[in-house]
Amino acid sequence: MTSDGRGIVVFIWLPEKGYVPAALLTEHRPDRLCTLGYGQRYIRRPDAVPLDPVSFPLVMATPATSRRGEMFSVLRDAAPDRWGRKILSLLAGRHAVTLTETDILTAAHSANRIGALAFGESASEGPKSMALWAGGSVYSVPRDDIEQVAYVVAKVDGLDDDADLDELRRALPEEAFMQALASSLSVGGGRPKALVEMDDGAYIAKFSRRGDPWNEPRIEHATMTLAARCGISVAGTRVLETAYGSVLLVKRFDRTDAGEPRHFISGFTLHAAISEEGMWGGYQDLAQLARQHGDAFSGQELFRRMVFNALCANIDDHPRNHAWFVTRTGIAITPVYDVVPTQARFRKYELALACGHRGREATLTNVLSWPEPFGLRKDEAEDIGMGIVKVMRGWREHYAACGVAERDIRELEHRFAQLPG
């Protein structure tokens, strides 16, 4: 490994203390490697929280080294995903594939960014946007601007070339353009999103997308609220209507009631043996790993999610859609924040994670076949499973009450085909 490298300070928000420098991320570009090491002053703090309690505990004596060409999983959790990377390439004026993972991670700072991690050039200056185009801190969108943001998002979602982007820039004030786009940089997932400030707190706004076969925001709202009725811990949701389609508002789980950021890790970080490019393991793995790291209560929660997902064909249940809060003493599962039936129609469905003795097969028989890793006996698992089935049998009435159109409900019939009558 070459000795020279670019140093980036990793900050973490500590309760009632704000952002404090925690670690140094060093990028060695010729080798396409990164190292990550805690600061000695940070690990001596009595309130220090591990960035990653699985692969990067506070007692780690030497800096960790990433896989070649990859970012540390806990930092990847804080980076933009597909939609955010599309926005980043537009704002940077170059395609995201030409940027390194550290460029993507550190481009734009926002006090409202997802999670509790932030990045900067020096410990004394604090977090800051490190891309030349970013200018300053990115901020969330006020409620009154959602209509304009929906317009910009719809235009960007339909972009096919840079000429269209130039035309869009000319049609909007620069501040509005930047605000509408840059606020989504730290949000994961592939759907168009923006961070929004409402009267009752911070939300993630999820917009319709070109080519949607149904009203995705309304269907996700109905699915999330149905999951809550099944005893699953979910982030609060509601729907706003704009001239450019429905907008789903998802209450941010990564903020305390006082508005302070909360540190969390994804299932990819918890399950360090897997990677985004390989096999993702199963729900049973996550339950056992969570218990090993201090979460004695997520077994039943994960079991409920697994049953629900199988019965409504939510096959986008990959490890990044499960997360755990991190404290000094352990971890605790977060509310679920992304649950919706797949738009694709298949003869049979498979979940993203293995869910029983028959692998990823999305059937009630399979999800009830191996409950022990969740800390459940077979009779307990069957009682919980049938309780979920009983609630879900009323899905049509529930979706209709949530404003889902009759034509969309008819299309959803196929997604609920595994639900026993």
Among 175-179, 206-210, 244-248, the range with the most confident prediction by mean pLDDT is 244-248
Q: How confident is the model at residue 367 (pLDDT cuts 50, 70, 90)?
A: very high
**Structure confidence at residue 112 (pLDDT):** 84
Query: For residue 94, what pLDDT is reported?
Result: 72
As a dihedral over the C-alpha atoms of residue 136, residue 140, residue 141, residue 143, rounded to 10 degrees, the angle is -150
Provide the whole-model pTM. 0.92
pLDDT number for residue 4: 58
Residue 176: pLDDT band by 50, 70, 90 thresholds? Answer: low
Q: What is the pLDDT of residue 149?
A: 80
Q: What would the two tokens of residue 57 be?
A: 């505990």
Q: Does the pLDDT of residue 282 top 60, yes or no?
A: yes
What is the b/e burial string over 72-100, where b = at least 16 CB atoms within 10 angstroms of the residue's CB? bbbbbbbbbbebbbbbbbbbbeeebeebe
Confidence of residue 116 (pLDDT cuts 50, 70, 90): very high
Backbone dihedral angles phi then psi of residue 270, each to the nearest 5 degrees:
-65, -40
Predicted local distance difference test score (pLDDT) of residue 174: 60
Give residue 385's pLDDT: 98
Q: In the numeric block, which tokens belong to residue 108?
A: 């734009």
Kindly report which listed range (65-79, 115-129, 217-231, 287-301) carries the lowest average pLDDT score. 65-79
User: Which of 52-56, 63-67, 311-315 shows the lowest mean pLDDT across its residues?
Assistant: 63-67
Q: Is residue 190 over pLDDT 80?
A: no
- Look over the chain and give the mean of its residue pLDDT values, rounded to a whole number: 89
DSSP, res 196: E
pLDDT at residue 1, rounded to an integer: 41
3-state secondary structure 267-282: HHHHCCCCCCCCCCCE
Q: Which of 240-244, 285-289, 378-382 has the lowest mean pLDDT?
A: 240-244
In the prediction, which pLDDT does 388 show?
Answer: 98
Phi–psi pair at 241, nearest 5 degrees:
-105, 135
Helix-strand-coil percent breakdown of the chain, rounded to 5?
35, 20, 45
Q: Report the share of the chain in percent with pLDDT over 90.
A: 65
Q: Which has the minimum average pLDDT: 180-194, 218-232, 339-353, 396-410? A: 180-194
Residue 23's φ and ψ, nearest 5 degrees, are -155, 165
Q: Is the pLDDT of residue 185 over 80?
A: no
Cβ(199)–Cβ(142) below 8 Å: no
Lowest mean pLDDT across 41-45, 170-174, 298-302: 170-174
Over range 78-93, report the average pLDDT.
Answer: 76
Please give the sequence-ordered ranges of beta strands (E in DSSP) within 303-369, or none if there are none: 323-326, 331-333
Q: Looking at the predicted structure, is the pLDDT value of residue 134 above 70?
A: no
Given pLDDT bands bounded at 50, 70 and 90, which one contains residue 3?
very low
Rounded Cα gap, residues 270 and 55, in angstroms: 8
DSSP category for residue 350: B
Pick the more confident residue, 355 or 200. 355
Compute the average pLDDT of residues 393-403.
Answer: 98
pLDDT at 210: 83
**Per-residue pLDDT at 165:** 59
Query: Residue 323 and residue 345: Cα distance in Å, rounded?
Result: 28
Express each pLDDT in 234-276 by its tens digit: 999 999 999 989 999 999 999 999 999 999 999 999 999 998 8
Residue 221: both structure tokens together:
């709202």
Report the pLDDT value the prediction gives residue 2, as an integer from 0 to 100.
Answer: 44
In a 3-state reduction of DSSP, which class is residue 221? helix
Most confident of 58-62, 103-107, 132-136, 177-181: 58-62
